[in-house]
Chains A and B, each alone.
Chain A
């Protein structure tokens, strides 16, 4: 195994297999993955800060086996910050907190291409700071159908006095975030609210939307997965790479981009690839920053 040493503020890091191509059919080496994350870090880190990371590691690349690692590896450098969080089953577990560039580079060196985090911070694991609608298309529906649903959802929420923000999942769907950032909000609140929203959407757009999880119900429809609003669930972090054929990023879009007519370029036109992500963020900054700070109260609960 080849090793390269880098000195960082937090200490010396040994990086391994930098030349290994982890996206073989596209061509994207570990060195370039580290480069991507280093460049996007100033925008990504505020979204990862103090959230218990679930590592999704692809040591042999995106076409081979991956494994989830919730427990922060015991071989971690001692400067990696951690948090102990209670679990549904068994005792508390130690998670990594990616609060600085050193830790981000370290988890990427472990080939944790995808960064999954909960909707709550480790200090207040029962307080979601956003409510999320995970829009998942059942074939042959695609991301453009998701965009239609997302726009209706945006207007519906706006009628309730709630601002929402959208990002690509980096896979096939879209994620609509409603920032809350209030200490009083619980996962019970977000679950009750999002479930009611999903059911109203299903009722009014039965051919386009389902709120049911069963696979046979989801065919050719957009499944509004409201059940992600749970302390035990994680979402792909904004600006994380996804482990697909191409290094697409879970990236924020402007609502206007969803409104453009669907035909042009097909479903892939809404996907944001690593280089495009870097270009866009230089131009527009973090379109998701409001998600971190905007305070909103869920009405009628």
Chain B
């Protein structure tokens, strides 16, 4: 979704308004690559292709369609899209306070931190502390990058954490997934409970790491230091004459320069 440190405004409820900034709380560890042409190492670019004309399509000929049945589209203009975008807002208005335990983790989308801006430190600390003691979370609506999010603001290690939540209609039902209820044998249940108990540990995320990422980064670091680097060629712009008037005027000026030298 969004980038780091991209929003600042105030978080407010009743008479309290605290200036804050939003910063990223997680950085996905995905390693991304660019696509290059194997022959000359040029960085490849994506172009839109029309299979009907068998030709590239320039940006001004590209429009949006929503598929309502196979090969049937409703067209949507930029203006129409813009008309439904929520207005940019500089506030996170807490609508109600809830017990975070009531929120099913399936609703959690993306975590951020809220950090206090100048002048807001004291009120910020107070809110952090009160929310920690009461163990409550503020539920708010929040506009970021043209979308309105439902968010939960909680107190966490002396700071405010903001988690965007999925809307309820984004949660898929699991009715069809669970098999029909049968009888459970007491002995089977006991045996499974025992094996679970034997495997119980405290949750320690530091024990686990993305092994593939680690190996990839090691390979990349080794290759980079071996100087096994390839270089993209410079793309030459075609040599065309400039506007005729300009070229003529430059030739005239150049003639004088050469005369005086």
Report Cα–Cα, A279/B191, bound state, in Å: 85
Q: A155-B257, A214-B234 are in contact. List 12 more A-B contacts (CB 8 A).
A: A74-B24, A79-B118, A84-B6, A156-B257, A159-B257, A160-B253, A192-B246, A197-B250, A199-B241, A199-B242, A204-B258, A214-B236
Report Cα–Cα, A152/B24, bound state, in Å: 52
B2's nearest neighbour on chain A, judged by CB, is A91
Q: Is the CB of B239 within 8 A of A199?
A: yes
| A interface footprint on B71-111 (CB within 8 Å = 1, 0 otherwise) | 00000000000000000000000000000000000000000
| B interface footprint on A64-92 (CB within 8 Å = 1, 0 otherwise) | 00000001111010110000100000010
Within 8 A of A (CB), among B10-43: 21, 23-24
A192: chain B residues at CB < 8 Å are 242-243, 246
Q: Does B189 contact A (CB under 8 A)?
A: no
Residue among B117, B245, B253, B261 making CB contact with A159, cutoff 8 Å: B253
Q: Is the CB of A300 within 8 A of B245?
A: yes
Q: Is the CB of A74 within 8 A of B23?
A: yes
B245's nearest neighbour on chain A, judged by CB, is A300
Q: Does A265 contact B (CB under 8 A)?
A: no
Determine the interface band of chain A, counting residues with CB < 8 A from chain B: 35 or more
Report Cα–Cα, A158/B23, bound state, in Å: 51
Given contacts A193-B242, A196-B242, A300-B245, contact A156 B253 (CB under 8 A): yes
Distance in angstroms from B8 CB to nearest chain A CB is 8
Distance in angstroms from A145 CB to nearest chain B CB is 16
B234: chain A residues at CB < 8 Å are 213-215
A160: chain B residues at CB < 8 Å are 249-250, 253
B234's nearest neighbour on chain A, judged by CB, is A213
A193's nearest neighbour on chain B, judged by CB, is B246
Within 8 A of B (CB), among A283-301: 299-301
- On B, residues with C-beta under 8 Å from A are 3-6, 8, 21, 23-24, 117-118, 145, 233-237, 239, 241-243, 245-254, 256-258, 260-261
Q: Is the CB of A196 within 8 A of B236?
A: no
Residue among B21, B117, B251 making CB contact with A200, cutoff 8 Å: B251
Q: Interface majority SS on A: helix, strand, loop or mixed?
A: mixed
Distance in angstroms from A69 CB to nearest chain B CB is 13
Distance in angstroms from B139 CB to nearest chain A CB is 26
Q: Does A182 contact B (CB under 8 A)?
A: no
Residue among A91, A152, A212, A214 making CB contact with B3, cutoff 8 Å: A91
Given contacts A74-B23, A213-B234, contact A196 B253 (CB under 8 A): no
Q: Is the CB of A195 within 8 A of B242?
A: yes
Q: Does A142 contact B (CB under 8 A)?
A: no
A-B contact pairs, 20 of them (CB 8 A): A72-B5, A74-B5, A78-B8, A78-B117, A91-B3, A91-B145, A94-B6, A156-B253, A157-B253, A193-B242, A195-B242, A196-B241, A197-B250, A204-B258, A211-B239, A214-B233, A214-B236, A215-B234, A300-B246, A301-B246
Residue among A155, A196, A200, A227 making CB contact with B260, cutoff 8 Å: A155
A215: chain B residues at CB < 8 Å are 234
Q: 6 closest Cβ contacts across the A-B interface? A: A196-B242, A159-B253, A74-B5, A300-B246, A213-B234, A300-B245
Report Cα–Cα, A212/B248, bound state, in Å: 21
Residue among A195, A200, A214 making CB contact with B254, cutoff 8 Å: A200
Distance in angstroms from A60 CB to nearest chain B CB is 15
Q: Is the CB of B246 within 8 A of A196?
A: yes
A195: chain B residues at CB < 8 Å are 237, 242
Residue among A94, A159, A212 making CB contact with B256, cutoff 8 Å: A159
B23: chain A residues at CB < 8 Å are 74
